[in-house]
Amino acid sequence: MSFDADENMKRVLKLFWQNCHEPWEQAIAPVQLGPHIYYVGSSWVGVTLLDTGDGFILIDSGMPMQLYLIFEGIRELGFNPKDIRKLLISHGHFDHAGAAKAIQEYTGADVYCSLEDLAAIEGRDPEALRNRSEIYHGVSVTKLYADDKPIIQGNFVIHTKLTAGHTPGTTSFFFQDKDDKGRVYNAALHGGLGLNTLTDLAQTEEMRKKYRRNLLEFRELPVDIVCSNHPHMAGFLERKTGAVKEQADYSTPGVWRSMLDHYLALLDSLEAGNSQNQR
């Protein structure tokens, strides 16, 4: 397995551009991942919606250009976006925090992020926003993550974990969902698996070490439901087709570890390639 940093960046920028300027081209129907867990957005980037029984938790905001599609998807599920109570931001990049201010103003939701990415998400670190600072409207963060204090809303208890690597404050989320028969599923969302910010060996060596350390730790965790802010990383669009409907079993054995192993292998390839290029 080889990792071509230049080709990867071209692919990311192409998808980024399309989701900024033609979001309807990649619009998809909502995908049900668990009894009360949904993915809403486009085929490249989106949000995770948790129906807590007492309002909704939204993980990430998507881009402002695709917000109408996200709200449309939430309504397609029979829900009201105004019932979003908490907005959890995984990291300070435009494709995940871009619509945070609009969502906060529309819903009055509390907005959470990590201390390490606070400046980016509040709009005080233009460099972190991938050259989108000219159209990014910083959101007023109301609460910071504390990994020893879970976030609770209705039937959901969200445990956060600082997962520095993709950004200094990338945060991952771990929680459980229960179906109407009492079966409990362990669910997880890794906050940032992309290697596009880790390609400069001179500047990101420590970040790559943290990224690797987290992947090695996380791959040992029992995860039944894999969520993702970029669905291709978890592959659930290929597994989940057709209309949203209740299922007998939402577990996806082996997918969590396989996904993390894939990115560990890509990191190995990236580092090996950079090492050879420096000789």
> Alpha-carbon distance 226 to 175, whole Å?
11
Query: What is the model's pLDDT at position 162?
Result: 97
Query: What is the model's pLDDT at position 145?
Result: 98
> Alpha-carbon distance 150 to 163, whole Å?
16
Which residue reads 């460099």 in tokens? 127
Query: What is the model's pLDDT at position 4?
Result: 66
Query: What is the model's pLDDT at position 241?
Result: 53
pLDDT tens string, the chain, 279 residues long: the values are 566 666 777 887 788 888 888 888 889 999 999 999 999 999 999 999 999 999 999 999 999 999 999 999 999 999 999 999 999 999 999 999 999 999 999 999 999 999 999 999 998 876 766 556 567 888 999 999 999 999 999 999 999 999 999 999 999 999 999 999 999 999 999 999 999 888 876 668 889 999 999 999 999 999 999 999 999 999 988 876 555 556 678 999 999 999 999 999 999 998 887 655 443
Domain 27-239+249-277, what architecture?
A: 4-Layer Sandwich (3.60)
Whole-number Cα distances in Å, 154 to 52, 160, 182, 275: 5, 17, 16, 49
- The model carries a pTM of 0.92
Query: What is the model's pLDDT at position 2?
Result: 62
Whole-number Cα distances in Å, 204 to 65, 94, 271: 31, 20, 11
